[in-house]
Chain A
Amino acid sequence: MAMSKDEIRAAVLEIIEEIAPDEDIASMNDEEPIREQIGLDSMDFLDIVMELRKQYKVEVPEDDYNELRTLASTVAYLEGKM
């Protein structure tokens, strides 16, 4: 069964928390670019893509990386895929 928006949001936050354990995930705003709110570098970003593949079998091709800019756009992009 497909995951709901809320479930996807929680799953993405859980992945971010694993990758950047020192960041304040709870205070993140859904509409602002993720990388401007917490200290994620380009390798961390690739780790998120990798975890989506490993944990949820979702493939994010390089051309779609821009879709993962904000939490809201990430959830919208992943809806129906996981």
Chain B
Amino acid sequence: MKLEDTAPQYDAVVIGGGIGGMTAANRLAKFGHKVLLLEHHFELGGLAAYFKRKGFIFDTALHGFPVGMIKTCRKYWSKEIADCIVQVDSIRYDNPQFCIDTTYTTEDFTDKLINFFKVTPETVESFFKACQSMDFFDDREKTTLEFFEEYFPGRSDIHRFLMEPIHYANGSTFLEPAITYGIVFSNFMSKGVYFFTGGTDLFVKMCREEMEKNGVDIVMQATVEKILLENGKVAGVVANGKEIKTKSVLSNANLKATCLDMIGAENLPADFAASCKEMRLSTSNSQVFIGIKEGVTLPFIGDIIFHSSAESFAPEEYIHNPPHSRSFSIYYPKCRPGYDRYAIAASMGARMSDWENLSDEEYEKAKENLIEQTLSILEQKLVPNIREITEYVEAATPRTFQRYTLHKEGATFGTKFEGLKVSEDLPKAVPGAYHAGSVAIIMSGWLGAANYGVIVANQLDEYLCKA
């Protein structure tokens, strides 16, 4: 649909077609509301992105969600979407402290902790129990590191074993509240790590078809500039200069941009505006995408590999420039039935401040360095002939993420923990305004984003039913 063809009035306008926005839009439409989804980019999916180059399809963030994604897709999307989700075979750690392959299931993880790290079964069991019993309302002062120290004092190798995958899954570190760790770890630590067969492109296509079937109006390349208020309540949005009337908005855009730019600090209660300004953004990422020559077969070396040359897991090491640590997602033909090419995507934590002030020439040089460092690690550690078999290589930086998602500073995991309260309090500050997007670590990743979209769609439905 085009912007000029939109209806005169909507029940809800969803700003941004990331997983949270799409899931919310689909649910609201199923409830019978008239919904418009506006996306600034020419593709849906947000950070669940893919791109095609020279015959390759690269996914930016596909590997690794918890088993709960199957149920979430079945309940809030469709059985067909849920049926595409399959378990990955193996996850590898490779760092100066240890080298381990695991299925990342409770059984295998317990086995590694007992037999490799030599922890007593009782300690493992009580640690798992403590994670599972963690609740939102528990002590938020205790950090993840303090929590690890209670069970595995002085064991920086175990701390890394526990933290590294979660760090890559949601950008969190030792310094975040222990409950955020416990909740996310428990989601993963049951039946392993899952993947969407057919790739991000198929997932997004199926979501789009489902939304259209349920009557969501979708307009691409429509950037929301303003959320309009009347008597303090949401009354409309301005997208590409066009005013559209709506009873409510659900923003899947960056929380800070939603509150401070789209609504505007001057339209918010003073204390709420202050919390918005104080809220810290998460850091960003860099990525390197490698396409392997036609006819070349990669041996199985794991689906996800956490590689680090840092002596131990320290938060700074994981956003260091140049990177000391990276995760590799290996795309075998099993990932996209009917498509036989191999590809590798490396992800590294990164900060916009290391990238934003580079001249064009410096920027290109920095990207080349990123690619070179990544190829060098692969050559030494995983794929000795990587330089011979590489056909295509490209890098993405915090600037790339900012361009495609409009997230401030290219933040790839939304905001830090304090963002959750801001996100939850938005409808109290501005009736009719809701936010569902990556906040606070626990609402991150494919599963967190989808579930948060559902939670907020339910709240918005209550608002519309009362009105």
**B56-100 with Cβ < 8 A to chain A:** 68, 71-72, 75
CB of A23 within 8 A of chain B? no
The answer to whether B72 touches A43 (Cβ under 8 A) is yes
Interface residues contributed by chain B, number (CB under 8 Å): 12
How distant is A34 from chain B, measured CB to nearest CB, in Å?
17
If A43-B71, A49-B458, A53-B465 are given as contacts, then 17 extra A-B residue pairs at C-beta distance below 8 Å, sorted by A number, are: A19-B75, A41-B68, A43-B72, A43-B75, A43-B451, A43-B454, A43-B455, A46-B454, A46-B455, A46-B458, A47-B75, A50-B458, A50-B461, A53-B461, A53-B462, A54-B31, A59-B462
Interface mask (A44-68 → B, CB under 8 Å = 1, otherwise 0): 0011011001100001000000000
Residues of chain B touching chain A, judged by Cβ–Cβ distance below 8 Å, are: 31, 68, 71-72, 75, 451, 454-455, 458, 461-462, 465
Complex alpha-carbon distance, A53 and B32, angstroms: 13
Complex alpha-carbon distance, A62 and B455, angstroms: 12
By beta carbon, the residue of chain B nearest A61 is B462
**A5-62 with Cβ < 8 A to chain B:** 19, 41, 43, 46-47, 49-50, 53-54, 59
Complex alpha-carbon distance, A55 and B327, angstroms: 46
By beta carbon, the residue of chain A nearest B30 is A54
Complex alpha-carbon distance, A59 and B463, angstroms: 11
- Within 8 Å CB of A43, what residues of B? 71-72, 75, 451, 454-455
- Within 8 Å CB of B454, what residues of A? 43, 46
By beta carbon, the residue of chain A nearest B458 is A50
Complex alpha-carbon distance, A59 and B462, angstroms: 8
Complex alpha-carbon distance, A41 and B455, angstroms: 13
Complex alpha-carbon distance, A53 and B455, angstroms: 14
- Within 8 Å CB of A53, what residues of B? 461-462, 465
By beta carbon, the residue of chain A nearest B451 is A43
Complex alpha-carbon distance, A72 and B275, angstroms: 42
How distant is A58 from chain B, measured CB to nearest CB, in Å?
11
By beta carbon, the residue of chain B nearest A50 is B458
- Within 8 Å CB of B451, what residues of A? 43
How distant is A55 from chain B, measured CB to nearest CB, in Å?
12
- Within 8 Å CB of B68, what residues of A? 41
Selected A-B contacts with CB under 8 Å, 20 pairs: A19-B75, A41-B68, A43-B71, A43-B72, A43-B75, A43-B451, A43-B454, A43-B455, A46-B454, A46-B455, A46-B458, A47-B75, A49-B458, A50-B458, A50-B461, A53-B461, A53-B462, A53-B465, A54-B31, A59-B462
